[in-house]
């Protein structure tokens, strides 16, 4: 269970969702019994009926920033920058951010990159393929970014480079997003509508918000044969005292904690002690969860279908046993479920 090949599966390319479903909560939901591996097919809109009235539903309220910027160098050559640390990038009033920069020839230190009439950036440093840029803006930086920037869709969602789809700006964002900083959506949350959340809350289920800003590392492949040798990325998180108190009180009362997405799982497990008590606060989460891990906080998981050999697939395999997860994936493939960010979901309970 520690070999990278243990997390491989074959997926027909036609099942990689390129567009979201018309109505978010009309995506499909594969319900898996965590103990037995038994499977049932549902619509996501039926989620509330599959949960207990006393459950606590934990969601990640990070907001994906339109951090993909297209521009050009002084030579006229095309350049693309992706802001990686928007939430933590302001230093002493300067707009200094770590970025991924793509161009035919790497810009030199001191070079200026132009993205619009009122936005440019100077190259300050390169370190481990990450470029530090100081942005220069003649007006409100955030307004300019939200005007010209593009949502950083995953590489398996194909879009023409010259195409900006307004629907992607909306659909690649949860309805409860409010803390700016992610470069990828916590995709399990994309299935919720305001109506569905209202229905869930009216049943008595409490919805709790935490924040983890999904970073570029979520797309990085595992390049080691033994997954235990993999060094996972870190991501900024925040758990308020109010939210920690609600979760801890629920756990002490024997109520279930239902995490929406692997980001919530990592954050809650990282912020908890050996007794499963969650501490409030801000920090950097670098927890790599793979089979053998003993969960302290999370009792149930809402999640999308993940890429082969990814750390996310390893996490869900730790939560519900690798063989059962792969069996569930085969069932989903045989029933033409849609995979990855804009795809369908699982409830593991």
160 found inside a domain: no
Q: Which two tokens stand for residue 37?
A: 């591996």
Residue found under tokens 């750390």 = 311
158 found inside a domain: no
pLDDT at residue 219, as a whole number: 73
DSSP β-bridge partners for residue 30: 41, 346
pLDDT at 33 over 70: yes
CA–CA gap between residue 52 and residue 83 (Å, rounded): 40
CATH number at residue 320: 3.40.1780.10
pLDDT at 289 over 90: yes
pLDDT at residue 161, as a whole number: 59
Rounded to 5, what percent of the chain is helix, strand, coil?
A: 30, 30, 40
Of 149, 182, 209, the domain-final residue = 149
Gyration radius (Cα) of the chain, Å: 21
165 found inside a domain: no
pLDDT at residue 138, as a whole number: 86
Of 149, 179, 207, the domain-final residue = 149
Considering its fold, how many domains does the chain have in total?
2
- Same-domain pairing of 60 and 72: no
Cα 55 to chain centroid distance, Å, stands at 23
Comparing C-alpha atoms, which of 284, 286, 328, 291 is closest to residue 306? 328
212 found inside a domain: yes
CA–CA gap between residue 217 and residue 215 (Å, rounded): 5
- Same-domain pairing of 250 and 190: yes
Contact 233, 220 (CB under 8 A): yes
Comparing C-alpha atoms, which of 226, 280, 276 is closest to residue 255? 276
- Same-domain pairing of 11 and 145: no
- Same-domain pairing of 54 and 103: no
pLDDT at residue 129, as a whole number: 85
Q: Which two tokens stand for residue 276?
A: 């499963």
Query: Residue 90: which domain range?
Result: 68-149
Which residues, at least 6 apart from 14, have a Cβ–Cβ distance to it below 8 Å? Answer: none
CA–CA gap between residue 295 and residue 318 (Å, rounded): 9
DSSP β-bridge partners for residue 69: 81
Average pLDDT over residues 211-238: 92
CA–CA gap between residue 332 and residue 10 (Å, rounded): 12
DSSP β-bridge partners for residue 209: 59
- Same-domain pairing of 114 and 179: no
3 state DSSP class of 125: strand
157 found inside a domain: no
Task: Write the pLDDT tens digit of every residue in 261-278.
Answer: 999 999 999 999 999 999
**From its phi and psi, is residue 207 left (phi > 0), alpha (psi between -120 and 50) or beta?**
beta
- Same-domain pairing of 45 and 90: no
CATH number at residue 119: 2.40.10.240
- Same-domain pairing of 225 and 329: yes
3 state DSSP class of 123: strand
pLDDT at 104 over 80: yes
- Reported as half-sphere exposure (CB side, CA atoms, 13 A), residue 83 has a value of 31
Q: What DSSP string runs through 210-228?
A: EEE---GGGGPPP-SSBGG
Average pLDDT over residues 98-112: 94
Q: Which of 35-39, 92-96, 99-103 has the lowest mean pLDDT?
A: 92-96
Task: Write the pLDDT tens digit of every residue in 59-97.
Answer: 999 999 999 999 999 889 999 999 999 987 665 568 999
- Same-domain pairing of 206 and 327: yes
Q: What Å distances lie between residue 147 and 75, 122, 236, CA to CA?
A: 25, 20, 25
- Same-domain pairing of 309 and 194: yes
3 state DSSP class of 80: strand
What beta strand segments (E) does 172-315 contain? 179-182, 206-212, 235-239, 257-260, 281-285, 300-304
- Same-domain pairing of 105 and 223: no
pLDDT at residue 31, as a whole number: 98
pTM (2 decimals)?
Answer: 0.95
3 state DSSP class of 165: coil
Contact 345, 29 (CB under 8 A): yes
164 found inside a domain: no
Q: What DSSP string runs through 109-145?
A: TT-EEEEETTEEEEEEEEETTEEEEEEEESS-HHHHH
Task: Write the pLDDT tens digit of every residue in 133-166.
Answer: 999 998 999 999 999 999 999 989 988 755 656 6
- Same-domain pairing of 100 and 186: no
């Amino acid at each position: 269970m520690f070999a990278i090949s243990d997390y491989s599966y074959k997926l027909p390319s036609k099942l990689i969702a390129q567009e979201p479903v018309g109505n978010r909560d009309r995506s499909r939901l594969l319900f898996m019994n965590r103990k037995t591996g038994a499977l049932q097919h549902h619509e996501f809109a039926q989620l509330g009926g599959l949960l207990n009235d006393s459950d606590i539903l934990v969601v990640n309220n990070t907001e994906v920033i339109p951090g993909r910027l297209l521009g050009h160098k002084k030579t006229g050559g095309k350049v693309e920058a992706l802001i990686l640390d928007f939430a933590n990038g302001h230093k002493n009033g300067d707009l200094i951010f770590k970025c991924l920069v793509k161009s035919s020839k790497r810009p030199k230190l001191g070079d200026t990159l132009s993205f619009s009439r009122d936005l440019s950036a100077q190259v300050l440093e390169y370190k481990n393929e990450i470029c530090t840029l100081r942005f220069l803006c003649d007006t409100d930086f955030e307004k300019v970014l939200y005007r010209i920037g593009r949502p950083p869709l995953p590489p398996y969602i194909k879009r023409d480079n010259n195409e900006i789809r307004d629907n992607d700006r909306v659909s690649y964002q949860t309805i409860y997003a409010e803390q700016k900083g992610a470069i990828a959506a916590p995709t399990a949350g994309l299935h919720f509508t305001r109506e569905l959340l209202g229905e869930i809350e009216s049943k008595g289920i409490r919805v709790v918000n935490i924040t983890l800003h999904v970073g570029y590392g979520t797309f990085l492949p595992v390049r080691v044969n033994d997954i235990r040798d993999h060094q996972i990325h870190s991501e900024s998180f925040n758990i308020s005292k109010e939210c920690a108190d609600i979760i801890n009180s629920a756990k002490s009362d024997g109520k279930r904690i239902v995490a929406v997405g692997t980001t919530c799982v990592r954050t809650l497990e990282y912020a908890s002690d050996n007794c499963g008590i969650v501490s409030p606060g801000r920090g950097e989460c670098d927890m790599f969860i793979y089979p053998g891990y003993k969960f302290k906080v999370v009792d149930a998981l809402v999640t999308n279908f993940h890429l082969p050999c990814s750390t996310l697939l390893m996490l869900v395999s730790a939560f519900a046993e690798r063989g059962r997860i792969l069996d569930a994936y085969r069932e989903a493939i045989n029933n033409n479920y849609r995979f990855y960010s804009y795809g369908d979901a699982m409830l593991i309970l």
